[in-house]
C-alpha cells in the first residue's frame, strides 16, 4: 500500500467530500486523489498547466481544485471562513515542512477544521534510518549537513509528533501504518493504548530510541488493519 492507496481508501470508506493536502509539490499525489473538493497548500507549487489539464481528464472534479501558494500557517490564518463554508475538511494529508514543531502545528490546526468523522493522515512518520530522520529546519539544511543524500528521502522528526499525540491526547486514536515511510492516522476517539514516557519526555528522544522501540512508540500498524481501524472509530 502506498500513500495514494491509503488516502483514497480513507476518502472512500468515510464518504469524504473535502480533501486538504499540506505540502503538494508537483501534485503527484494531489492530482491523483479523487474527491469532490480538493484544496492544495504549498509555498512553492510546482504543478505545470499541462499536468493540471491532464488531471481534468482523469477526474472532472480536478477542475474545481483550489490552490493556495503559501505556508500552512498562512493558509490556516487566512482560510477560516472558506473552510467553515465548506463545512470542514473530511480528510487531511499532512506532508509539508518535515519538522516536529511544524507538523505538530499542522495537526492542531487541521483538528480545528476537521469534520466530525474526519481523518488526518500524516506522511513520513516512520523514517528507516538516522539520515532520513535528520532533524533540520528544511530539506536544504538536512542536505547541507550531508546526512541526507541530495536525492534521498528526508522525513525529519515528524515521528515525534505522533509520539507526543499518543502521550498528551486522550481524545485521539493515533497509529502509524507501516508503509510508504510511515503514514500516521489520527482520528477522534478513544486511544487504543495510551503511551507514557518516563524521563525527559518526547523532546529528549532521538532516532536510536525510535529504532529500538518503533512499534511501541508509534503504535505501528500493518497496512491491512486500516479498514478495521477506521470501523473501530466510526463517524459520529
Ligand atoms: C515531500 S513534498 C510533498 C509531496 C506531495 N505530498 C506528494 O506526495 O506528492 C513537501 C512539500 O512541502 C512544502 N512545504 C515546505 N514548507 C511548507 C509549509 N510551511 N507549509 C506547507 N508546505 C510546505 C514544500 O514546498 C514541498 O513542496
| Per-residue model confidence (pLDDT) at position 147 | 67
Per-residue pLDDT tens over the stretch 45-101: 999 999 999 999 999 999 999 999 999 999 999 999 999 999 999 999 999 999 999
Residue bearing cell 478495521: 228
User: Which of the listed residues 25, 39, 67, 122 should we mutate to test ligand 1's pocket, taking the one with most ligand atoms within 8 A of CB?
Assistant: 25
pTM score of the predicted model? 0.97
Q: Is residue 41 part of a domain?
A: yes
3-state secondary structure string, 22-45? ECCCCCCCCCCCCCCEEEEECCCC
Å from CA of 131 to ligand 1 middle: 19
C-alpha cell at 228: 478495521
Mean pLDDT within 232-236: 75
Instruction: Report yes or no on 80 lying in a domain.
Output: yes
Asked, for residue 148, whether it belongs to a domain, the answer is: yes
Residue 236 lies in a domain: no
Q: Is residue 8 in some structural domain?
A: yes
Q: Which residues contact 40 (CB under 8 A, 6 or more apart)?
A: 21, 24, 27, 30, 47, 65, 66, 67, 68
Domain span holding position 165:
3-230
* pLDDT at residue 151, rounded to an integer: 58
CATH of residue 179:
3.40.50.150
Predicted confidence (pLDDT) at residue 102 exceeds the cutoff of 80: yes
- List pLDDT tens digits, range 184-231: 999 999 999 889 987 778 999 999 999 999 999 999 999 999 999 998
Distance (Å) from CA 130 to ligand 1 centroid? 21
Cell for 229? Answer: 481501524
Residue 124 domain-assigned (yes or no):
yes
**For residue 157, how far is its CA from the centre of ligand 1 (angstroms)?**
15
In a domain, 95, yes or no: yes
Mean pLDDT, the chain, as a whole number? 94
pLDDT score at 183: 98
- Structural domain total, the chain: 1
Name the residue at shortest CA distance from atom 5 of ligand 1: 24
In a domain, 235, yes or no: no
Measure the CA–CA gap between 3 and 10, rounded to whole angstroms: 11
- Counting residues of the chain whose pLDDT is more than 90, the rounded percentage is 86
pLDDT for residue 236 is more than 70:
no
Amino acid at each position: 500500500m502506498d500513500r495514494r492507496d491509503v488516502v483514497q481508501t480513507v476518502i472512500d470508506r468515510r464518504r469524504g467530500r473535502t480533501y486538504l493536502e499540506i505540502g503538494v509539490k508537483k501534485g503527484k499525489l494531489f492530482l491523483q486523489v479523487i474527491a469532490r473538493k480538493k484544496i492544495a497548500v504549498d509555498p512553492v507549487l510546482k504543478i505545470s498547466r499541462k499536468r493540471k489539464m491532464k488531471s481534468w481528464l482523469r477526474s472532472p472534479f480536478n477542475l474545481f481544485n483550489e490552490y493556495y501558494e503559501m505556508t500552512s500557517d498562512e493558509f490556516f490564518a487566512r482560510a477560516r471562513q472558506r473552510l467553515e463554508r465548506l463545512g470542514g475538511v473530511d480528510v487531511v494529508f499532512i506532508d509539508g515542512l518535515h519538522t516536529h514543531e511544524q507538523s505538530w502545528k499542522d495537526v492542531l490546526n487541521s483538528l480545528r477544521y476537521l469534520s466530525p468523522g474526519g481523518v488526518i493522515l500524516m506522511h513520513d512518520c516512520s523514517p528507516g534510518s538516522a539520515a532520513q530522520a535528520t532533524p533540520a529546519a528544511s530539506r536544504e539544511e538536512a542536505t547541507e549537513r550531508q546526512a541526507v543524500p541530495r536525492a534521498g528521502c528526508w522525513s525529519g522528526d515528524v515521528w515525534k509528533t505522533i509520539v507526543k499525540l499518543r502521550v498528551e491526547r486522550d481524545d485521539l486514536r493515533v497509529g502509524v501504518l507501516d508503509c510508504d515511510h510511515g503514514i500516521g492516522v489520527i482520528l477522534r476517539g478513544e486511544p487504543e493504548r495510551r503511551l507514557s514516557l518516563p524521563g525527559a519526555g518526547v523532546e529528549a528522544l532521538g532516532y536510536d530510541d525510535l529504532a529500538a522501540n518503533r512499534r511501541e512508540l508509534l503504535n505501528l500498524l500493518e497496512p491491512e488493519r486500516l479498514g478495521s481501524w477506521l470501523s473501530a472509530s466510526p463517524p459520529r
